[in-house]
Structures are given as structure tokens and as C-alpha cells.
A and B are shown apart, each in its own frame.
Chain A
Amino acid sequence: MENLVEIRDLKVEATTDSGRRVDIIKAVSLDIAPGEIVALIGESGSGKTTIALTLMGYTRSGCRICGGQVRIAGKDMVTLSERERAGIRGTQVAYVPQSAAAAFNPAMRIIDQVIEISRIHQLMPDGRARLKAIDLFRALSLPNPETIGSRYPHQVSGGQLQRLSAAMALIGDPKLVIFDEPTTALDVTTQIEVLRAFKAVMKKGGISGVYVSHDLAVVAQIADRIVVLRNGEVQEAGTTAEILTCAQHPYTRELLAAFEPKPRDHEIGVEDRKVLLEVSDLVSGYGPIQADGLPLVQAVKDVSLTVKKGRNLGIIGESGCGKSTLARTIAGILPAYSGNLLFDNRELAGTVRQRSRDQLRDMQIVFQYADTALNPEKSIEEILGRPLQFYHGLKGKQRDTRIDQLLDMVHLPKSLRHRRPQELSGGQKQRVNFARALAAEPKLIICDEITSALDTVVAAAIINLLKELQRELSLSYIFISHDLSVVEAICDEIVVMYGGRKVEEITPAQLKAPQHPYSKLLFSSVPKLDPAWLDALELDPELVRTYGHT
């Protein structure tokens, strides 16, 4: 059978701001048979999205296809004119973007945007297109398929919007659909529904797909073949089963190894550790204060928890469950409306201004996005030097030696100290971000989703670093994440939050048997590497109705 897609020796180059030319795709070749779903997997910057976009004859601004062929059903997208390409886009090749929320026009009804492709290409009358869209909504198991199209994008949930954008892609009966990390921005419980819907529709229509992702477990559920990319080159390609069971290339093995559960080695014995932080009945939120003295939006409701010295507490929950608000309230960035904070047996004031400098020093917070947490106009040296000077009064040579020590602690070369944050990779930035917290010599570090923006392999390295530093410096962490495997790897106790409340507190040993129904749903929704996992998974429909957002 002839291949639908044949990419031969594809080369893409980018021109940097200083006019330098960089090859970002170096002679990549791959084939996709009709009805086959191929996953492109790799870390950020590996060129996976760039390759996917060339299938539409498109490159991002500043990039250029400088060699090779991209043949789709016999036509070479590289040599076609822009007009001919436009004719193919939407009818033969369609694209599902990462963030559906950003891809929909908020001022237009969904249905009008979904049938836009048929209108542009004059495929069918609007009435028929609408009926077809409703069929697609039904096939993608969207609720109220007849009426959901008449809503506006902000009136449906993120998971629904992602499926609606798939409907938009499928309306022109394309032969190939490109999925660009379509579930990365979704919660695990929502991700399952979306993945299931995609899989069913693609199989039914016999449509080929390109699935771009960095998450091997997600890819394992949906792809027939996997292509592993790194630095714009194909590292390894094979069927899903081959890649998962007998990967040859070291990078693929590294990716797989990052999925291996790494249970935390428990120190046995010292059970009567001192309590470091005690939070009781904390209420916090946003918006104007109501008549009852509570804020308009209560993001955290009556949460109590304790962190013991040298132990780690994980807080897990989906987006919007109040876990970040909780962290910010503990750190004093947001005021608590009621409840008590006890740190080191001393009452902790509600806001940063009322806390003593030592209290501030003892508790540091590390944010998710190192890009926004590090001032782009300052060198690494200035970023790390400031807390040293501010808290410890270090100057000159003492300060310089300490900066070197800190860089050493987070395994960064000393040569980085004069660089600016934007010259560093994502993982390096996160290490600097963490080193800044260490500079204060705190007792407790609050880590707010610090691995979520990182690639699997890099995130695993950061987690190892955190563990190592804990052994050396007897730190405690509050580790906030939506990723169960990360929390599991580092925490002694896990708090599950839902809708601003703490629903359960569990130890990793009990992970296999959580008690609360939401915890059960959450824990069973985490994708596993086993390709048959999604098909075999049976979720209690009652639970999904109560806690899911689909």
C-alpha cells in the first residue's frame, strides 16, 4: 500500500536575531500509511512541532524549509504555491493546536468557527455542514451535541473545547490530522475523555494522524508507531510496542527510565519528628470581602495540614483546586482570612510585611515558571547574590565563593554566573530558581509545580537533585503538583485537594488504595506506559459525573 505521507531528507533552517543560520531539522525522513497514527516524541526544541507544521507546508516565522520533500498523497508541499497549499489545508491536512482556548475566537459562536473550513473551501452548504458538525460532536462524545455549538468558547470547559477543535479539524474530511500536544494543558481526569474521543473518531474514519507530544504514556495509548526526535534528528522509530519494550537508543531509554516508579527510600525509626509548620483551618481567596468577612472567591476552605522537620508534604489536585492559592497563603503573598499558621512553634503573621526577616528567610517559595521567576535583565550572579547580601550580609569575595557553592549544589557550571536567564535552558533556569531559594538557607521550601513546565527527563533530574539536597541540608519541602508520579517520588505524605478542600491525606504506601472517591478517580487516571491501559481502563461513571469536568 502506498504511503499517505512521505517525508524525505527534510531540512529546516532558522535565522536568529543576529542573522546566524541554524539548522533545526536535519535530514528527517518518515512515512505514514493511510489510517496510521504516528507519534512524534521528544523534548522541547527537538523539532517535533516544526516537522508537524511542514506537513501543511508551513514554517513558523524566521524558519524556512531548505531541502527535502514533504509529499502528501503524492503532492510535494514544499514546492506547491501558497494558493495550492491553502487548498490542501483543511481539506486534506488539518491541525489541532495545543491550546484550544487560544485557538478559538472568543467573540464567535463555536459552530460558526467549526464549519468555517467548509465555508472557506465551499465544500457543502452551511446547513449540511452544521448537521455534519453535530454528528462529529456526537462522535467525540460531547454533551448536548445539538446545542453545544451555539455556545461561546468561554462557556465550555477546556476538555470540551479541545474536542471541539478536533471537530473543527475533521469537518473537511482530512486524510491527515496533526495533533500538537492536544492534552498537555488538560487535567489527567479530563485527558482520558479527550484521548478516548480522539482515538475512537480516528479509528472510525480511518484517518491518519500525527500526534506530537512529550508524554510517552499518552502517546502509548493512541499511536501505532513512535518516532523519537532529538535536536532535529530521528533517534529511533518503531511500532509502539517495540519502542516501549526494546528501545535501542540511549535517549529513548532515558525517556522510559523517567517513567520507572522510583519509590522513596524511607528512613525507619524517627517517627516523633518535630513539627515545622502547622496550618489549621486556613481560609483564603480573592476578590472583595463579603458581608460575612470572607472573600468573594474562596479558593482554599478550612485546610489543615502539618509538615514535619525533614519530611516532605505533597499537595495534589487538578487545576483550580486551590493548591497554588494555599501555597501563596502559606508564603504570605495572599492574606489568610481565617485560620492559623504556626511555624517552628511560633505564630506566623498573615502577610509578608508583618513577618520578621528570619521568618521570611526560613520559608522560601519556588515558582513553576523559571522564565517569569528570574529577572531577565539580571545576571545569574546578581540573582543569587541578592538573597546572600539581603539575608546574610555577604559581600565581595565571601559572596562570590558562596555563589560558586550554590551553583555547585544545583550541578551547574560556575561559568554560568555571568549569563542572563534567557541564555539558559529550561532545566538550568529551574535550577537557578531553586538555588536562589537555597541561598537563603531556609528550613522549608515551597515548590509550586516546579517540574510541570519541564520535559520528562529534565524533571526527573530536578527531582533527584531535590532529594539529594534534602539529605545534605535537612530541608523540608511542600511539593505542589498535578502530576502524581512526581509527588509520589519525593513526598512522605500526600494531601489531595478538590474544590478548595482537603479531601484526603495519604502516605505513598497507601497510594494503591486511596479512600476518598475523588482520590480514586485521580489516581486511576494517570496514564501508564502499557498501550492497552486506556482501552482496559474502566472508570466509575458516577465518579466521572461528580468530579470530572468533561
Chain B
Amino acid sequence: MTPSVTLAQKFGYRFSWVGMIGLSIMLLWGIMALIAPNIIPHPVGEIVDEDYFGAISSRFWLGSDYLGRDMLSRILMGARYTVGISLAAVSIACFSGVVLGMTAAVVGGWFDAAVSRFLDAMNSIPGKLSGLVVVAAVGSSITVLIVTLAVIYTPGAYRFARALAVNINTMDYITVARTRGEGLVYIIGSEILPNIIGPVLADLGLRFVFIVLLLSGLSFLGLGVQPPYADWGALVHENVGGLPFGAPAVIVPSLAIASLTISVNLLIDNLPQKIRDRSA
């Protein structure tokens, strides 16, 4: 009997092994981000290798960067920024989007129309472009990045949650709650949210991936996380000169971005039926 079967028996969920791999990689990066300062072999800012763009060796597991700093340490610390900023941004985006979406579905009328049109207008501005404009205007700091990314991805979360909530809103149990005299907070929090939470969580994961990619893109353009700090996108950017030498310093952070985004996608695509099909 495989472990996934015993898990299934215990929780009533059935994970496929692909989903398990996605979950493990995701958890691994999460744990790395948490404990990075305690496990890095070399200080992040210190030049420890005589050679620049050093190869993989027993001393530098992932080689060294363009100044001769340890890549493994920089990647592990970079995980904090990439995972942390994206997680903060996606939480804000999904929270505000989902709350607004459910409210619009329940309240309807002019409120729905006004919020929907406003957020549609926001949605029509390309994400990378508005990110560039904001960072160029107010400068780049971690707070600015989080808020910008959150604002860019709120309209999508709103649309998604509103579409789900509109269906639930037509159910008789919502009518029953209304005739009971229930307020808005109870209706969206206790009657609607439990019915859309599965798809909303899947959407959250997907949006997390988008934000990681956008953040990495901004950092690659030099507009994201600023030195001396570096997220994975910034690591690719600063080591891009190593490309002709085939230096691990430029390949490894790219692989890190790919592994995180792909693992989240794998997990979402292989969510247990019970979570994924809750609204069905």
C-alpha cells in the first residue's frame, strides 16, 4: 500500500503522486525561505571565491556569482524575497478581490456595476507596464512592490470570485438567509465563502505563480528588489553576463523560479477531487 492511500484513508483526500511532488517542492522552498539565515554556508554579501562565475565545486555547491559570492547562499536568501513578496502580494490581492467579488454578487445593482467597471478598467492595463510606471514614479522598495503587485492582480481575483458567488447567490439557502434578516457579512462569510473556497484556493495558487513571474521579470529589468538584497529575478539579472561561459550562477536562479512555479501548477492541477470539485 502506498503512502498516498493511507493519507487518503486518514483525511478522505486522494492525492496523486504528481500532486505530491508539486506539494513537496513548494513546501521545500517555503521551509528554505524560513530558515535561510541559519543554514547558509557563507554570508550573502561576502566575496568568498577568488574566481568569478565559478563552477560547481565541493566548497561552492552552486558555483559563485559575478563578484565571487556564494550562489547557494544567495539563492537561499533570494527565496525569502521571491516567496515572501509574492505571498504577501497574492494574499492581499485575493483577500480584497474575493471580498469585493462576493459583496458585489450579493449587493448587486449600482455597487456591482461601479466596482465591476472600475476593476475592468484596471484589468485592461497590462500588468508589467503598470508595474514599470509605478516603480519608475515612486521608486522601488519592498512595500511598493507588494502593493503594486497586489493591485495588479486584484481585478482578476475579483472577477473570478464574483463569477462563482453569483451562482451561489441564486441558491435558495441565500434567499432563506436574507428572509431571516441576515446581514451582508454573515451571508458572504458563512453562506457563500464555504461553497467557493475550493476554486478560490486554486485561483490563489495560480495567481501566486503569475506574481512570482511578474516580480522576477521586474527584478530582471532592474526595477524589482534592489541591491544589496536580491530575489531570484535579480540574481538572473546580475549574473546575465555569465551566460557565454555557461556559468551556473545564471542558470540556477532560473531553475529555482521554474521549479517553484511549475510545482505550484502541478499541485493545483492535481488537487484532490474533494477540494477541487467542492462547488460542483
Q: What's the count of A-B pairs with C-beta under 8 Å?
A: 50
Given the interface pairs A17-B273, A378-B194, the reply to whether A373 lies near B181 with Cβ below 8 Å is no
Let me know if A533 is at the binding interface, CB within 8 A: no
Mask, B159-181, CB within 8 Å of A = 1, is 00000000000011101101111
Whether the pair B182, A390 counts as a contact (CB closer than 8 A) is yes
Q: Give the distance in Å from the alpha carbon of A440 to the alpha carbon of B176 in the complex.
A: 12
Q: Give the distance in Å from the alpha carbon of A66 to the alpha carbon of B176 in the complex.
A: 44
Closest to B181 in A: A360
Whether the pair A331, B173 counts as a contact (CB closer than 8 A) is no
Whether the pair A369, B194 counts as a contact (CB closer than 8 A) is no
Mask, B1-14, CB within 8 Å of A = 1, is 00000000000100
Q: In the complex, what residues of A have CB within 8 A of residue B181's CB?
A: 352, 355, 357, 360, 390
Q: In the complex, what residues of B have CB within 8 A of residue A440's CB?
A: 180
SS class of chain B's interface: helix, strand, loop or mixed? Answer: helix
Let me know if B112 is at the binding interface, CB within 8 A: no
Mask, A54-70, CB within 8 Å of B = 1, is 00000000000000000
Which residues in window 156-206 of B have CB below 8 A to A?
171-173, 175-176, 178-182, 190-191, 194-195
A440 vs chain B, min Cβ distance (A): 7
Which residues in window 1-29 of A have CB below 8 A to B?
17-18
Whether the pair B195, A375 counts as a contact (CB closer than 8 A) is yes
Q: Give the distance in Å from the alpha carbon of A331 to the alpha carbon of B171 in the complex.
A: 16
Let me know if A292 is at the binding interface, CB within 8 A: no
Q: Give the distance in Å from the alpha carbon of A534 to the alpha carbon of B230 in the complex.
A: 85
A143 vs chain B, min Cβ distance (A): 35
Q: In the complex, what residues of A have CB within 8 A of residue B194's CB?
A: 375, 377-378
Closest to A367 in B: B172
Whether the pair A360, B191 counts as a contact (CB closer than 8 A) is no
Given the interface pairs A333-B175, A367-B172, the reply to whether A375 lies near B180 with Cβ below 8 Å is no
Whether the pair A390, B176 counts as a contact (CB closer than 8 A) is no
Let me know if A372 is at the binding interface, CB within 8 A: yes
Given the interface pairs A17-B273, A378-B194, the reply to whether A373 lies near B180 with Cβ below 8 Å is no
Whether the pair B179, A365 counts as a contact (CB closer than 8 A) is yes
Let me know if A436 is at the binding interface, CB within 8 A: yes
Q: Give the distance in Å from the alpha carbon of A365 to the alpha carbon of B194 in the complex.
A: 24
Q: In the complex, what residues of A have CB within 8 A of residue B190's CB?
A: 378, 386
Known: A332-B179, A365-B179, A377-B195. 4 other contacts (CB 8 A): A355-B181, A357-B181, A374-B173, A386-B190
List residues of B whose CB falls within 8 A of some A CB.
Answer: 12, 171-173, 175-176, 178-182, 190-191, 194-195, 273, 278
List residues of A whose CB falls within 8 A of some B CB.
Answer: 17-18, 331-333, 352, 355, 357, 360, 364-365, 367, 369, 372-378, 386-387, 390-391, 436, 440
Instruction: Please name 29 pairs of A and B residues whose Cβ atoms are closer than 8 Å in the assembled complex, sorted by A.
Output: A17-B273, A18-B12, A332-B179, A333-B175, A333-B178, A333-B179, A352-B178, A352-B179, A355-B181, A357-B181, A360-B180, A360-B181, A365-B176, A367-B175, A367-B176, A369-B172, A373-B172, A373-B173, A373-B176, A375-B173, A375-B191, A375-B194, A375-B195, A376-B195, A378-B190, A386-B190, A390-B180, A390-B181, A436-B176
